[in-house]
Chains A and B, each alone.
Chain A
Amino acid sequence: MKRLVYVNDSDITAGVFCSNKISNTKYNLLNFLPKNLWEQFGRFMNKYFLLIACLQLWPLITPVNPASTWGPLIFIFAVSASKEAWDDYGRYCLDKQANERSFWVVKQGVKTQVQAQDILVGDLVWLHENDEVPCDLVLMGTSEALGLCHLETSALDGETDLKTRVAPLPCIGLNSELLLKLKGVIECPDPDKDIRRFDANLRLFPPFTDNDFSPITINNTLLQSCYLRNTEWACGVAVYTGNETKLGMSKGLPEPKVTAADGMVDKLTGALFAFQLVVVLILGVAGNTWQSYEADKMWYVRYPKVSRWYDFLVIPLRFELLCSIMIPISIKVSLDLAKSLHSKYVDWDVQMYDSVTCTPAVATNTAITEDLGQIEYILTDKTGTLTDNVMVFKRCCIKGVYYGAGTGDALTDPELVRAVMEKVPEVIKFLMVMAMCNTVTPCKSAGRALFYKAQSQDEDALVQAAAQLQVLLCSKMGSVVEVSLLGEVLEFEILDTLEFTSERKRMSVVVRERGTGALQLLTKGADETVFPTLCSDQQVRPIADAIDRYSQLGLRTMCLAWRDLEENEYAAWSLKFKEASMSLMDREWKIAEVCQLLEKNLELLGATAIEDKLQEGVPETISTLRNAGINFWMLTGDKHSTAVQIALACNFILPEPEGQLLQVQGRSSNEVRISLERVLRTLRITGTEHKDVAFVIDGLALELALKYHYEAFTELAMLSKTALCCRVTPFQKAQLVELVKSCDYRTLAIGDGGNDVKMIQEAHVGVGISGREGLQAARAADFCLGKFRFLKRLILVHGRYSYNRTAFLSQYCIYKSLVICFIQIFYSFLSGVSGTSLFNSLSLMAYNVVYTSIPVMVTAVLDKDIEEKSVLEHPEILYICQTGRLLNPSTFAGWFGRSLFHGAVVFLVTVNVYAYEKSEIAETSMVALSGCIWLQAFLVALETNSFTWFQHMAVWGNVVLFYLVNLLLNLVEHSGMYTIMFRLCSQPAYWLSLLLIVIIGMGPLLALKYFRVMYRPSTVNMLQRLEHQYTNSLSVETPTKSLDVSLSMTRTTFNHGSELGSVYEPLLLPETPTFQKKSGDSEASSDSVPSSPTRVTLPTYSRSKNK
């Protein structure tokens, strides 16, 4: 449980702890081949292909040349193995680079330069400005007088601000000479991955101090991968090294994501494999039977008289090989290629280019674009994702006086400025709290300009605002703070900082004014945590009103309070605080207890209101996506009322008449249960009404609900389309994603900060906003966007097209292989069920790769069923993708039927025309092959929704290519096809049979499609017709007019139809139950009610857009 680290004495523990050698590699030279092969063969398809390839090595059973399978198989394996090897080599190089950086380490009291990998636990590491921290260190001393140093932690937690780290108390004041000789012991816990906690103890050996333990917290540490900034030097003791550091422990490659479509393709492949086995079994038995009855009589076949034990296997295995093409080896490659092009479209999209931050959209994960089109739930962060994360101090209320109410900006409110000038005590106190009660570090840049490094944007906004109101935080040197009040510099000493934690939700500082020596406690925090600490005899109401009003405006509020401290009271408390800070167990809780002792009888000064502007286009984006049937959950660390207000402002929830917001609350398991049940009851009742119901839950209640009432909460989550979760931790965000995922919904998580990383990695699709909170979220995400509003385009345009195209491509790939396979199966009945291949090896090999891949690939990259504009106008169309209408067992059955039909047509026509004197196997095979190619061209053309010249070229050019390749092959004497194509091309019968194959193969499909489009149109078909109408009739018609016209048309048709009886089928009946994919989701259909003109208007305030 504990480890003891001897300061400056690594020899004692040498060999006990691991070295500082970082290793992120997956393989080494020895295990690469077996491990990589093992991983690749973990996939079903690869196992299958290997089996087939091995069977083909047996010449007795192989119908074709083994190279036709081995070639592609080895190629595919080599490609993915070399990609892995390359990636791993990259990691190895990075590791090597990191391991070989040199650092100054104290060895036997002398500073020596060693490589990072040679640092041992207990070594004293000497860092200089801008050095990266090589392992987890406990700070021992710095160049600054008070043992301070500044640290940039963005690589660790994504926060870009500088953090202040301080040496433990006993070490403060040691100079570098003494530090070299420092001896002591640190008692610290075993390595874990919590980067916010480090509870340890330090005991220095004499002569440095007596045997006194002093506490060490995370504030005394320098963690691996952080950078030392603004500090000349700092030294620390290595406590965790190598892969045992906090960073190393939390590493781990995220699981590769599998898209819904991929999963479906895998399932279909499995079904296909089962079908294949059945076929093989049937044909195998038939073949063996035929052989035993018939073939013995056929003297020309010369069956051996002696039978071997494996003879009964030969024919089934031959058929297995013959049918192996049923699962095409090319499908994976084709899909990968098409998807990477789809994601390139994302990268290239000019309309998703954020011109403010100059960031284009980036698809980091190129394999999951089609999942975007199937998103059903979006879980979004608030700050920085929906909002700009630019905090601006807008209003305040001091002692019941509102400032900034008139102009909307308190900083320019003449009343406030005058109050400052006149040094109204409350106002000055208020501003002092704003300036001092924070963790902001003022820094001077080279040009003497002052700027602030703040941990949170809120604090920054407060300090900036105070500065503009003449209370300027000038410098912070250790615990000494200089504040310039109306030009007059005051010095304060910060005695203690009662830190902000998510439980306490407030922070305080104890300051002593230099000069007067007065002790004061300055507090700021959320209203619900500050109000209980106030002394009872004051007016809270006006401030509470102000806070209500501010949060209704969507502003983030903060209460400021203070009180004077008695010297002896503080002294007594200080001891307790010290004791609590030193405890190893439950330190956080104990500190909180102690803090509460001091934070009482406060005098409430007022409230601040900070605006976090909504990003441009957020309400429109959300309402469009909700019309598309996507449910939104907002997961924020922010407080309840702010979250609700932001949610209102961005169309997330609707105000009372149309929407209803239900509360799930409670401090105990029982309260939460009761609350949950009540909400569930309400939801079940309102489920049938056209009402947008949302629920709101806070972090604590969520924790209880997830722990004790998981099922009820799951039901709630399924019933409610919208949810607001406030005050949630990063872990809870990930938990919620998992919950929605467990209900079999496709989820997308979008966020911008380090606290969203878990959620982004957990969701099916993770989207990162490359925002102000650093790039960590963007790095972990599958897609990076500059702004939230691009999400609309990403999902509706890119996701939808990608899904449509992927669905087409994957099924088509299987279709074309099946056609060939069926022909082979049919042909086996003509060849004595002996497993003869009608096609030669070369044709089979070229069929999937050369002859048929181009048209479908081009279509899968370029085809658009409806224009982007139509999709964005009718986002409801997305439900087709969401419910997986284009790739599921029934669509696949359609393709299966098509391939069976086409196989039969090609086979029957070929065999009947090329019969009698034309019966020659090389010719027959070529006729059948040409028939397939022709059918494919026409089928792709039929399935194509929009033709570009490129597609025409690919589809028809491919047929030409087929003839060119074959005519070339026909020039080779021993290809087995010598002169065949020349002969065929000169036969009218050949061309006539091809025309026959095409019309028999395509005619029924065309008729069927026409019938569907006309009399059973899908919504896509209708939109296509609408587009066609608009492009054809160039007249500028107002939409309402056309709507009226068509409405009246519908009515007449309806009447007409009822007279005609059964001939008439209402256009839309088949579509109505579509939104109800899952049980318990019945009210989701109400989601499809589009935003009527009346619905758009929201409460009185309109934010962000006008700014």
Chain B
Amino acid sequence: MSLSSFPNVAILKHTSIKEAFMVSKHSLTLKKRHNVLFSSSMESEDEEAPVADKPKTHDSKKLPYTKFSQQELPTIKPLMTPKWIVSMFLLLGFTYIPIGIVILIISNSMIEISFNYGAACIMNYSSPSNPLNTNNEMSNFMQNVNNPKTCNVSINVPKNMKNPVYVYYQLENFFQNHRRYSKSRSDKQLCGTSLKIGDLDVCKPQDSINNVEIVPCGMIAWSLFNDTFDFSTSNGPIVVDRGGISWLSDREEIFSSFVFPSNFPNNNVYGNSSQFIGGGKLNPNVSLNANEDFIVWMRTASSPKFRKLWGKIDNDINPGLVFVNITNQYNVYNFGGAKKLVLSTRSWIGGKNAFLGGAYVVVGALCVVLGFTFAMVHWRNPRPLGAIAYLSWTRKFEDSDN
């Protein structure tokens, strides 16, 4: 390798020089000898050239020549021109505003009636002897099993509510997404795998009572919402359809049809105490997937203010008073929570929620404003596209020239 790469200009054999010298002995041979010397060196160069060329063509084929490897893939380079940007913002604005308006109209056409029965009911039980002014007093009242818990309220329905009307209960300041709480469930157990105490560590401290495992374990199940509502109008009772309020997929796959509640601490503080704190009961004879209230409750909410579906009313509700008979058992008083009953119609966009439509309108309007601003700025102060003269170094050069 190294030898061949040497510039062997002088591969002149000893003899050839002698010959050359012999020739030179004759007169007028100067030029001739030059030719000999020269041509021999030329030859050696000529010989080298093809040797160097051969592997070249061979090797350059080895380099993968693709558009990708040479970074020459065809490209599109979007350039932000005023025309594009202005029309884009205007287009976006004029698309978003109407969408927002439509959503707002739909949302506003929803009729939603919300009633804070938690506060109203507890006041019903208040008496001079038992004032129930503080959270603790209310909570203590709720925790006594013997206290009366029913309460009648009437709700005014201002407009005709078309069926189906959804009945929700809304809890506020209730942290279903608290880390301790939201993890405290065993999906394996819920779907039918029989688990022993040791496998239920996720449910702690609500995993067992007297060394017998709880089914369903965990704090979510244990804190099941248990208020009930009876609706009626002056024309008679309103039928509430309590079926189909949970997700079909939950009923079919997540909650088992052959797991029945057992050893469930119905309503009791830590299971065996007689103290009533306000939590749900589970009927040991009803399988988990048949108890839709339970399934709905087990879908934990993402924020501390949430609604859960309680039932559906398949008839229109005419304007007027709706009377509700409530068993107000669920204790949200000690942490200052609120309980509301919500009657609402629903559209394809969901219930009444002004945020989405409002945001669309605002954003669309801002887009339009931006579009017009950019158009104005461009109109007042047009910018030519780039030119070499704008480059800083070119400019400096020009300056120094002038």
* Interface set of A (CB-CB < 8 Å, partner B): 59, 63, 154, 160, 294-295, 297-304, 318, 344-345, 348-351, 353, 355-356, 358, 360, 390, 411-412, 414, 417-418, 421, 445, 448-452, 460, 463-464, 467-468, 470, 472, 474, 484, 486-487, 627, 690, 772, 774, 801, 830-832, 834-836, 838, 862, 864, 868, 874, 876, 909, 911-925, 945-950, 973-974, 976, 978-979, 983, 987-989, 992-993, 996, 999-1000, 1003, 1006-1007, 1009-1010, 1013-1015, 1017, 1019, 1021-1029, 1039, 1042-1043, 1045-1047, 1049-1050, 1053, 1057, 1060, 1063-1064, 1067-1068, 1071-1072, 1074, 1085, 1088-1090, 1092
- Interface pair B335/A921, CB less than 8 Å apart: no
Q: A297-B334, A1024-B386, A1089-B397 are in contact. Are A1013 and B77 (CB under 8 A)?
A: no
- Determine if B149 is an interface residue (Cβ-Cβ < 8 Å): no
A298: chain B residues at CB < 8 Å are 175, 178, 335
**Which A residue's beta carbon lies closest to that of B181?**
A301
Contacts of A1026 in B (CB 8 A): 385-388
Q: How far is the CA of A920 from the CA of B250 in the complex (A)?
A: 13
Instruction: Return the 3 tightest CB-CB contacts between A and B, nearest first.
Output: A1046-B387, A1025-B386, A300-B223
Chain B residues near A1043: list those with CB within 8 A: 387-389
CB of A482, distance to nearest CB on chain B (Å): 10
Residues in B whose Cβ lies below 8 Å from that of A1022: 386-387, 390-391
Pick from B12, B41, B82, B400: contact of A450, CB below 8 A: B12
Interfacial chain A residues near B18, Cβ < 8 Å: 487
**Contact A1006–B85 (Cβ < 8 Å):** yes
Return the chain B residue nearest A1044 by Cβ: B389
A421/B24 contact (C-beta < 8 A), A448-B13, A913-B355 known? yes
CB-defined contacts of B390 to chain A, threshold 8 Å: 1017, 1022, 1046, 1050, 1067-1068
Can you list 6 A-B contacts (CB < 8 A)? A297-B135, A834-B179, A862-B73, A919-B303, A948-B74, A996-B363
A912–B305 Cα gap in the complex (Å)? 11
Cβ-closest chain B residue relative to A391: B7
Nearest neighbor of A469 in chain B, beta-carbon distance: B37
Decide: A917 and B60 in contact? CB cutoff 8 A.
Answer: no
With a CB–CB cut-off of 8 A, which chain B residues contact A911? 302-303
Nearest chain B CB to A483 CB, angstrom units: 11
Complex Cα spacing A978 to B191, Å:
13
User: When the two chains form their complex, are residues A1050 and B389 in contact, meaning their CB atoms are under 8 A apart?
Assistant: yes
Q: Assuming A358-B52, A830-B177, A1068-B390, what are 19 further A-B pairs, CB within 8 angstroms?
A: A295-B178, A299-B269, A300-B223, A351-B70, A417-B33, A472-B17, A486-B21, A830-B302, A832-B304, A834-B180, A912-B355, A916-B353, A917-B166, A921-B182, A948-B75, A1003-B89, A1007-B374, A1026-B388, A1050-B387
Chain B 332-364 interface mask (CB, 8 Å, partner A; 1/0): 001110000000100011110101100110010
> A919 contacts which chain B residues (CB < 8 A)?
301-303, 305-307
A915, B59: Cα distance in complex, Å: 66
B77 engages A1028 (CB within 8 Å): yes
Question: Min CB distance, A824 to chain B, in Å?
Answer: 12
Instruction: Point out the residues of chain B lying under 8 angstroms from A484, CB to CB.
Output: 14, 17
B335 touches A294 (CB 8 A): yes
Is the beta-carbon distance between B334 and A947 smaller than 8 angstroms? no
Q: Give chain B nearest CB distance to A1004 CB in angstroms.
A: 9
Evaluate contact between A996 and B21: CB separation under 8 angstroms. no
Residues of A close to B336: CB separation below 8 A: 297
Query: CA of A772 to CA of B6 in the docked complex: distance in angstroms?
Result: 8
By the criterion CB–CB under 8 Å, are A345 and B391 in contact? no
A1021 to B5, CA, bound (A): 48
Write the nearest CB–CB distance from B235 to chain A, whole angstroms. Answer: 28
Contact A831 B388 (CB under 8 A): no
Pick the interface stretch among B236-244, B282-290, B316-324, B376-384. Answer: B376-384
Knowing A472-B14, A874-B391, A1003-B92 are in contact, say whether A832-B386 is a contact too (CB < 8 A).
no
**Minimum distance in angstroms from B395 CB to a CB of chain A:** 6
The interface of chain B, by Cβ under 8 A from chain A, is 2-3, 5-14, 17-18, 21-22, 24, 30, 33-34, 37-38, 41, 52, 55-56, 59-60, 63-65, 69-71, 73-80, 82, 85, 88-89, 92, 96, 99, 103, 135, 166, 168, 170, 174-182, 187-188, 191, 201, 205-206, 219, 222-223, 247, 249, 253-254, 269, 277-279, 299-309, 331, 334-336, 344, 348-351, 353, 355-356, 359-360, 363, 366-367, 370, 374, 377-378, 380-381, 383-398, 400
Q: Verify A920–B301 contact, CB threshold 8 A.
A: yes
A1086 to B70, CA, bound (A): 34
Shortest B194–chain A CB gap in Å is: 16
Complex alpha-carbon distance, A992 and B181, angstroms: 31
Alpha-carbon distance A351/B344, docked complex (angstroms)? 71
* Cα–Cα, bound, A304→B180 (Å): 11
A915 contacts across to B, CB distance below 8 A:
303, 305-306, 353, 355
A916 and B52 contacting across the interface, CB-CB below 8 Å: no
Q: Which of A301, A390, A412, A627 is in CB contact (< 8 Å) with B219?
A: A301
> Which chain B residues border A1039 with CB–CB below 8 Å?
388
Asked if B63 and A350 sit within 8 Å, CB to CB, the answer is: yes
Contact partner of B392 (CB less than 8 A), chosen from A452, A948, A999, A1019, is A1019
Q: Which residue of B lies closest to A457 (CB)?
A: B7
* B179:A921 contact, CB within 8 angstroms: no
Contact partners of A1015 in chain B: CB under 8 A: 377, 383
8 Å CB contact of A468 from B37, B69, B299, B377: B37
Inter-chain contact B300/A921, CB cutoff 8 Å? yes
- Select which of A486, A487, A772, A1088 is within 8 A of B393 by beta carbon: A1088
B306: A residues at CB distance < 8 A: 915-917, 919
Q: Which residue of B is nearest A945, CB measured?
A: B77
